[in-house]
Chain A
Amino acid sequence: MIRVVLPAHLKTLAHVSGEVQLDVVGTPTQNSVIDALEARFPALLGTIRDPATQKRRTFIRFFACEEDLSHDSPDAPLPDDVIVGAEAFFVVGAMAGG
């Protein structure tokens, strides 16, 4: 079970409050978690990754275990504490602009 925390705008789009809990097939990675997220909440398609490139959007960051994972490989396994559900995977809207 992967715990995902979304930014406010994406919670609104997905009609959720609080954390989202996802079952991810195989070893959880950034991409597989976002795949599972989009499958469960189609309204989020394209909001975290650019639909054309499938790359993380410029003003999106991925945090977990007090680390910025944004520049890790999107197909690298997530930290063990995220995989076992001890820590959440944070999708963060970068603080930029007004």
Chain B
Amino acid sequence: MSGVRVLVGTRKGAFILTSDGKRDDWKVEGPLFAGWEVYHVKGSPVDENRIFASQSTGWFGQLIQRSDDGGATWQPVGNQFKYDGVPGTHQWYDGTPHPWEFARVWHLEPSLSDPDDVLAGVEDAALFRSTDGGENWAELSGLRTHGTGSSWQPGAGGMCLHTIIVSPKDPKRIFVAISSAGAFRSDDAGTSWRPINHGLHSEGIPDEDAEVGHCVHRIALHPSRPEVLFMQKHWDVMRSDNAGDSWVEVSGNLPSDFGFAIDVHAHEPETVYVVPITSDSQHFPPDGKLRVYRSRVGGNEWEPLTKGLPQANCYVDVLRDAMAVDSLDSCGVYFGTTGGQVYVSADAGDSWKPIVRDLPSVLSVEVQTLA
């Protein structure tokens, strides 16, 4: 019987949660890299045994760990993330020029076709690629140097490149998102880039419709239809039907359109999930009720999913990389919270239960659907 392996990054290590296809009984392993912040753990789509993890602390810097046996053992690989050329400056919070400085890897995106090929999104925002399983990293500097980079400013969490999506239909097409610069697209495998923020409207920046400067929190798409993008922006849930050339708001009847996580059902391209958060100053769910909202029509019309989730006195957050879906016949949906819970729904969101309740604050959740 097929199963799932849930890869959880937390503030104090990583955890691996495994189950068979029923997703009722779970084995919990960890903490891996105990005491370190693990921003992201993600497996290769073409080799389920190969997994990459981003491990860091303020004391000892950044490590990249790789497993070639499904997470049983790990080895540190390359951790040299050197910006290409003279990196120059971006804007600091106060608008003054600030040198580009590497802080950490936020997101690892293994290739859809080659287990040795992996992209890394880093803070300060840049995109790196390794073609040797993470041993060596080279910056795809066309993103940082395409012209608007010097005007980018960090969000509250730092100036991070947190979303990387390679089109399943065209490996030369890559989408990335940066807080708080916005969304960008390359159509030539990362050599050249352009902002794709037309239609975004952000009241917190001087020019509300600026080309860059939008605090995009996450982007998701369905593999069968990679020209349709869904975005959770700082405020507003957005949709693009033309690969980001333009965006329209689809927040509709959400109780709050602030949030971080967004994902798409594995088999229904118009079914989208978000977790509304009260506001940027109140990083917890509205009314203390943890509700996932699902739209079955691609946005605007949203239904709350509450069965099995706490509906009182819940004040956790769900961060941008902390939601994922599996691809079993009955699509599983997963998310982790800053309170250390990881929830699973084995019925596409209709009902939920916690896999674990007391992990460290969850930074990321990814799922591998195992053969």
Point out residues on A near B: beta carbons under 8 Å.
7, 9-10, 12-13, 42-43, 45-48, 50-52, 57-60, 93-94, 96-97
Q: Is the Cβ of B58 less than 8 Å from the Cβ of A47?
A: no
Contacts A13-B76, A45-B79 hold; do A50 and B59 have CB atoms under 8 A apart? no
Q: Is the Cβ of B60 less than 8 Å from the Cβ of A93?
A: yes
Q: Is the Cβ of B59 less than 8 Å from the Cβ of A57?
A: yes
The interface residues of chain B lying within 8 Å CB-to-CB of A9 are 35-36, 57, 59-60
Q: Indicate which residue in A12, A13, A52, A93 contacts B102 across the interface (CB closer than 8 Å).
A: A52
User: Which residue from chain B places its CB closest to the CB of A51 in the assembled complex?
Assistant: B80
Point out residues on B near A: beta carbons under 8 Å.
34-36, 57-63, 75-76, 79-82, 102
Which of A45, A46, A93 has most B Cβ within 10 Å?
A: A46
Q: Is the Cβ of B82 less than 8 Å from the Cβ of A57?
A: no
Which of A13, A50, A58, A93 has most B Cβ within 10 Å?
A: A13
Closest 8 CB pairs of A and B: A47-B60, A59-B59, A43-B76, A93-B59, A46-B79, A51-B80, A46-B61, A47-B61
Task: Report the Cα distance A46→B63, complex, angstroms.
Answer: 8
The distance from the CB of B182 to the nearest CB of chain A, in whole angstroms, is: 26
The distance from the CB of B53 to the nearest CB of chain A, in whole angstroms, is: 13
The distance from the CB of A58 to the nearest CB of chain B, in whole angstroms, is: 8
Q: How many A-B residue pairs have CB under 8 A?
A: 47
The interface residues of chain B lying within 8 Å CB-to-CB of A47 are 60-61, 63
Which of B58, B61, B80, B82 has most A Cβ within 10 Å?
A: B61
The interface residues of chain A lying within 8 Å CB-to-CB of B76 are 13, 42-43
User: Which residue from chain B places its CB closest to the CB of A10 in the assembled complex?
Assistant: B60
User: Which residue from chain B places its CB closest to the CB of A43 in the assembled complex?
Assistant: B76
Q: Is the Cβ of B61 less than 8 Å from the Cβ of A57?
A: yes
The interface residues of chain B lying within 8 Å CB-to-CB of A7 are 59
User: Which residue from chain A places its CB closest to the CB of B62 in the assembled complex?
Assistant: A46
Task: Report the Cα distance A94→B61, complex, angstroms.
Answer: 13
The distance from the CB of A97 to the nearest CB of chain B, in whole angstroms, is: 7
Instruction: Provide a sorted-by-A list of 30 A–B residue pairs whose CB atoms are within 8 angstroms.
Output: A9-B35, A9-B57, A9-B60, A13-B63, A43-B75, A43-B76, A46-B61, A46-B62, A46-B79, A46-B80, A47-B60, A47-B61, A50-B61, A51-B61, A51-B79, A51-B80, A51-B81, A51-B82, A52-B82, A52-B102, A57-B59, A58-B58, A59-B58, A59-B59, A60-B59, A93-B59, A93-B60, A94-B59, A96-B58, A96-B59
The interface residues of chain A lying within 8 Å CB-to-CB of B57 are 9
The distance from the CB of A16 to the nearest CB of chain B, in whole angstroms, is: 14
User: Which residue from chain B places its CB closest to the CB of A50 in the assembled complex?
Assistant: B61
Q: Is the Cβ of A48 less than 8 Å from the Cβ of B79?
A: no
The distance from the CB of A47 to the nearest CB of chain B, in whole angstroms, is: 4
Task: Report the Cα distance A98→B35, complex, angstroms.
Answer: 11
Which of B36, B76, B80 has most A Cβ within 10 Å?
A: B76
The distance from the CB of B171 to the nearest CB of chain A, in whole angstroms, is: 29
The distance from the CB of B252 to the nearest CB of chain A, in whole angstroms, is: 40
The distance from the CB of B139 to the nearest CB of chain A, in whole angstroms, is: 12
The distance from the CB of B38 to the nearest CB of chain A, in whole angstroms, is: 13
The distance from the CB of B232 to the nearest CB of chain A, in whole angstroms, is: 29
User: Which residue from chain B places its CB closest to the CB of A47 in the assembled complex?
Assistant: B60
Task: Report the Cα distance A7→B36, complex, angstroms.
Answer: 13
The distance from the CB of B185 to the nearest CB of chain A, in whole angstroms, is: 28
The interface residues of chain B lying within 8 Å CB-to-CB of A57 are 59-61
The distance from the CB of A62 to the nearest CB of chain B, in whole angstroms, is: 14
The interface residues of chain A lying within 8 Å CB-to-CB of B36 are 9
The interface residues of chain A lying within 8 Å CB-to-CB of B61 are 46-47, 50-51, 57
The interface residues of chain A lying within 8 Å CB-to-CB of B79 are 45-46, 51
The interface residues of chain B lying within 8 Å CB-to-CB of A46 are 61-63, 79-80
Task: Report the Cα distance A32→B36, complex, angstroms.
Answer: 27
Task: Report the Cα distance A55→B6, complex, angstroms.
Answer: 38
The distance from the CB of A44 to the nearest CB of chain B, in whole angstroms, is: 9
Task: Report the Cα distance A59→B57, complex, angstroms.
Answer: 10
The interface residues of chain B lying within 8 Å CB-to-CB of A50 are 61
